[in-house]
Structure 1
């Protein structure tokens, strides 16, 4: 989450939707940007507005992603950290020890199928619809970009803020693209559709 009072702008960072890239683009051009003490970088809009109600009339932006592709990306991130840990990376080894999310995924799900079928029951973040990050009973994000149209949508955000967008939108923390449709069995596909039914309805995503 990022707040810029000068532009009356609020960015809600939904996990695995390109938020790191958005932050890296905005911070150099918005040096006054701030976060809210005590809140996660992935805080939901309702939690943000409870902490600072005055942000309710800020221009609010978030990004979403096809839920099947998003879960594959999430699992792939853990696998990348596992490979780095095997190569001796202290940072990766730190993430994969203890009782945190990354360690739990690496330890408890032997493959992607187990992650999809069991993970949402074990981890709230894996069963929370993206729309829940971007809507409250009385407020919703003013602009919702999509990972599938990321470059164009990022440019729309920067144009609205009066910022210069680079010719090529860089991607940070992104893995090489994969066709998620080849990774799901029918049972896994239906499980994602069940867990993220609200996202399918809100954003029109299909498998």
Structure 2
């Protein structure tokens, strides 16, 4: 999550949706923000306390966390936005990220099929890096009553165009988006990773995202 008091925006960072590139582009604005240094100090205090005091909005916090921590009038005045991604594609990206960065979290399941079945097994013990990527994307966007709290939902599939739209709403020229790292060994089309069974696993687990965000396995 990225908050800019000067530019009055709140970016809700959902993992594996291009958010790292968006953060990198927008963080350059922080140097022009007079609140940068107080916020940096609060961030350090949060870290030193083991994050036991509410002085920092976590990187992948849900928008409801900001709603609860910030004054209502201030929260309502912010332009709040996020990016989402096709759930089938997101899980392929997550698999390659974990295999590249944290292979010990694979749990001995080296193929995409085996890892996905294990990952979505409700009996599997909780592991942060796995369960962040199986949290519904819609959970990051809504309050406890299911009302959408963000003002704009961009899509990974048209990242540059929707980022430009968000920047227009903020009132800035769009900074260049850094290129995100791509897995060298992943197939270009996520659909090649799935069979009917594993595609159905995603359809069931992420049913609310698919309905709310309008995704499907075979895009039109």
Preserved contact between residue 15 and residue 133 of structure 2 (Cα < 8 Å): no
Give the deviation of 1:201 after TM superposition: 0.6
Give the stretch that moved more between structures: 38-47 or 70-79: 38-47
Preserved contact between residue 80 and residue 151 of structure 2 (Cα < 8 Å): yes
What is the aligned length?
Answer: 186
* Structure 1 unpaired stretches of 5+: 82-95, 97-101
* Structure 2 unpaired stretches of 5+: 44-53, 125-129
Counterpart in the other structure of 1:88: none
Counterpart in the other structure of 2:79: 59
TM-score normalised according to structure 1 size: 0.80
1:170 equivalent to 2:178? Answer yes
1:124 equivalent to 2:127? Answer no
Question: In 2 relative to 1, CA 170–124 (structure 1 residues): closer, same or farther, beyond 3 Å?
Answer: closer
Question: In 2 relative to 1, CA 44–157 (structure 1 residues): closer, same or farther, beyond 3 Å?
Answer: same
**Cα distance in 1 for residues equivalent to 2:4 and 2:56:** 17
**Cα distance in 2 for residues equivalent to 1:183 and 1:151:** 26
Preserved contact between residue 200 and residue 206 of structure 1 (Cα < 8 Å): yes
Give the deviation of 1:124 after TM superposition: 3.1
C-alpha RMSD of the superposition: 2.2
Once the two structures are superposed, the pairs formed by residues 179-190 of structure 1 within 5 Å of their partners are 179-190=189-200
Structure 1 residue aligned with 2:202, among 177, 183, 192? Answer: 192
Give the stretch that moved more between structures: 27-36 or 187-196: 27-36
1:75 equivalent to 2:89? Answer no
**Cα distance in 2 for residues equivalent to 1:23 and 1:204:** 25
Preserved contact between residue 56 and residue 139 of structure 1 (Cα < 8 Å): no
TM-score normalised according to structure 2 size: 0.76
**Cα distance in 2 for residues equivalent to 1:28 and 1:169:** 11
Once the two structures are superposed, the pairs formed by residues 22-33 of structure 1 within 5 Å of their partners are 22-31=22-31, 32=33
**Cα distance in 1 for residues equivalent to 2:171 and 2:86:** 29
**Cα distance in 1 for residues equivalent to 2:81 and 2:92:** 24
Counterpart in the other structure of 1:90: none
| 3-state DSSP of counterpart to 1:144 | strand
